[in-house]
C-alpha cells in the first residue's frame, strides 16, 4: 500500500486539470526573416486566445513561442512576446484576469519573429506554443498547448529567400478613421470573414511600439510599427500573400474590440478597392495602400454612407467660395447623389441653390459662384 501511494504522488504533477485553449483569431501568415540567422524586418502580428477551466478571479501570466510544425510539442520554439514595454522575452505578465467561471475571456498577444537560425524562413510552416501560470509563478518549460492552426512565413526579405512564388509576401498599409485607434485589425480573403484571417495587428495607436530590427521593412510599414515618422493615428500594417498565392486578394477588413466582438468592417468583391489598389495583384515586397475612403472602419460596418466634411468654406472671394466633403464609405451600395446646398438661410436644402456632383466615394469639392459680397 505504501509503494502504491508513492507512485500516485509522483504522477499527480503531470495530470491535467482540464484547461482548454480556444484559438479565437490566429493569422495564416507572417513575414519571414531577412537571412539565415538575421531578421531586420520583424513584422509583429497579433492573436486572440481564450483559456478556460482556470482558477476563478485570478491573474495569470502567459508564455508564448512560435515553433515549426515539425518541432516536438515539448519546445516553445522561438520568437518574443510584447510584454507591455518591449519585445524582450517570451513572457507576458498579467496577461489576463479570469472571471467567476475561471475563463480568461478573449485576450490578445503580439508575437515578434526573431533571427532564429532554424525558424521563420520563407515557406516554413509554424504554430503557436502557449504556457501559463498564476501571476508570479513558474511557467513550465513545456508548452501547455500547441496550436492546431498553422502560420506560414512569407518571403518579404530584400533578397529573395526562395525561388518559389507560392511563398512570396507583400506589404499593406491601411488607414482608418482615428476613432478606430487601438482596435484589432483582421484581413480576410473573403467578404464574409470566415476562416482564419490573412494577418492580424492593431490600429495605431497600438499597444506595441517597435524601435529595433525593422530597418529592412518599407518606410511606410516601419513607421507604423514605430508609431512615428510618416505614419498617423488610424494607420495599420500588414503582411499579405503576393501574386498567385493570393488570387482573391484582401476582400474584408475588420476591426475588433478587446472582447473580440466586431467594431466595424468593410468589404470589396474583387480585392480591387475603390481607390484602385489591387490587393490580388501585388508582387513580392510591393506596398499596397488602403485609404480611409476604402475602409474608414465606421462602427457598425457598412450600413450608411459616411461623409467627412471639409472646413465649411475655403477660398473665399467677393463673389465665390469653395466647400465640399469626402464620401469615405458608400454603405455597401451605390450613392444616389452627393453635392452641396447653399442659401442665406441657416439650413439650406435642395430647394435652394445646390449642385449635384457625380461620383461615389472620394472627395467632392465645388466652387459656388454668383454670391453676394460681404454676406453670410
Residue 307 has pLDDT above 80, yes or no: no
7 in any annotated domain: no
Same domain, 176 and 214: yes
Average pLDDT in the 127-144 region?
98
Same domain, 232 and 137: no
Same domain, 336 and 280: no
Domain count, the chain: 3
Same domain, 179 and 281: yes
Percent with pLDDT over 70 in the chain? 89
Same domain, 261 and 324: no
What pLDDT, in 10s, does the model give residues 337-370? Answer: 778 788 887 677 777 788 888 877 777 788 888 8
pLDDT on residue 323: 81
Greatest CA separation for the chain: 106
Same domain, 196 and 273: yes
Neighbours of 325 (CB within 10 A): 18
pLDDT band at 9 (very low <50, low <70, confident <90, very high): very low
Same domain, 282 and 311: no
Q: Single out the residue in 108, 123, 152 at which a domain terminates.
A: 152
Lowest mean pLDDT among 4-13, 141-150, 290-299: 4-13
Whole-number Å distance between alpha carbons of 76 and 63 = 9
| CA angle, 287 then 247 then 250, to 5° | 55
Q: Single out the residue in 290, 321, 354 at which a domain terminates.
A: 290
Residue for grid cell 482564419: 196
Same domain, 218 and 116: no
What pLDDT, in 10s, does the model give residues 248-262? Answer: 999 999 999 999 999
Residue 373 has pLDDT above 70, yes or no: yes
Same domain, 22 and 115: yes
Q: What is the mean pLDDT of the chain?
A: 89
Whole-number Å distance between alpha carbons of 218 and 372 = 51
Look up the CATH number of the domain holding residue 47: 2.60.40
Q: Which residue in 210, 190, 188, 186 sits closest to 200, CA to CA?
A: 186
Whole-number Å distance between alpha carbons of 219 and 216 = 8
Residue 190 has pLDDT above 70, yes or no: yes
Q: What are phi and psi of 9, to 5 degrees?
A: -65, -30
The range of the structural domain enclosing residue 348 comes to 306-368
What pLDDT, in 10s, does the model give residues 79-108? Answer: 999 999 999 999 999 999 999 999 999 999
Same domain, 245 and 186: yes
Residue 334 has pLDDT above 70, yes or no: no
What pLDDT, in 10s, does the model give residues 202-232? Answer: 999 999 999 889 999 999 999 999 999 999 9
Average pLDDT in the 65-80 region?
98
The grid coordinates listed for 294 are: 476604402
10 three-class SS: helix
301 in any annotated domain: no
Same domain, 346 and 278: no
Same domain, 311 and 286: no
5 in any annotated domain: no
pLDDT on residue 7: 36
Amino acid at each position: 500500500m505504501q509503494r502504491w501511494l508513492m507512485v500516485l504522488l509522483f504522477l499527480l504533477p503531470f495530470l491535467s486539470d482540464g484547461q482548454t485553449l480556444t484559438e479565437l483569431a490566429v493569422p495564416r501568415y507572417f513575414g519571414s526573416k531577412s537571412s539565415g540567422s538575421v531578421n531586420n524586418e520583424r513584422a509583429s502580428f497579433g492573436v486572440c486566445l481564450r483559456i478556460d477551466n482556470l482558477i476563478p478571479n485570478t491573474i495569470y501570466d502567459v508564455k508564448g513561442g512560435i515553433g515549426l510544425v515539425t518541432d516536438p510539442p515539448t519546445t516553445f520554439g522561438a520568437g518574443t512576446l510584447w510584454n507591455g514595454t518591449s519585445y524582450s522575452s517570451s513572457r507576458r505578465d498579467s496577461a489576463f484576469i479570469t472571471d467567476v467561471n475561471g475563463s480568461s475571456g478573449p485576450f490578445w498577444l503580439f508575437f515578434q519573429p526573431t533571427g532564429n537560425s532554424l525558424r521563420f524562413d520563407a515557406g516554413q510552416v509554424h504554430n503557436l506554443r502557449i504556457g501559463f501560470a498564476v501571476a508570479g509563478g513558474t511557467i513550465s518549460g513545456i508548452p501547455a498547448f500547441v496550436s492546431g492552426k498553422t502560420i506560414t512565413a512569407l518571403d518579404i526579405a530584400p533578397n529573395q529567400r526562395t525561388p518559389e512564388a507560392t511563398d512570396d509576401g507583400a506589404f499593406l498599409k491601411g488607414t482608418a478613421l482615428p476613432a478606430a485607434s487601438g482596435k484589432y485589425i483582421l484581413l480576410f480573403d473573403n467578404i464574409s470573414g470566415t476562416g482564419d484571417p490573412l494577418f492580424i495587428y492593431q490600429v495605431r495607436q497600438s499597444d506595441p511600439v517597435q524601435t529595433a530590427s525593422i530597418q529592412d521593412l518599407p518606410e511606410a510599414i516601419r513607421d507604423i510599427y514605430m508609431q512615428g515618422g510618416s505614419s498617423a493615428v488610424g494607420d495599420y500594417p500588414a503582411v499579405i500573400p503576393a501574386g498567385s498565392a493570393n488570387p482573391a486578394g484582401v476582400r474584408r477588413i475588420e476591426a475588433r474590440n478587446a472582447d473580440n466582438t466586431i467594431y466595424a468592417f468593410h468589404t470589396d468583391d474583387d480585392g480591387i478597392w475603390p481607390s484602385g489598389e489591387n490587393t490580388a495583384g501585388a508582387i513580392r515586397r510591393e506596398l499596397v495602400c488602403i485609404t480611409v475612403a476604402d475602409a474608414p472602419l465606421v462602427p457598425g460596418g457598412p450600413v450608411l454612407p459616411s461623409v467627412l466634411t471639409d472646413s465649411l468654406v475655403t477660398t473665399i472671394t467677393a463673389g465665390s467660395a469653395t466647400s465640399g466633403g469626402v464620401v469615405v464609405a458608400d454603405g455597401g451600395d451605390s450613392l444616389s447623389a452627393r453635392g452641396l446646398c447653399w442659401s442665406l438661410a441657416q439650413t439650406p436644402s435642395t430647394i435652394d441653390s445646390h449642385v449635384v456632383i457625380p461620383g461615389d466615394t472620394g472627395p467632392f469639392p465645388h466652387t459656388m459662384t454668383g454670391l453676394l459680397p460681404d454676406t453670410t
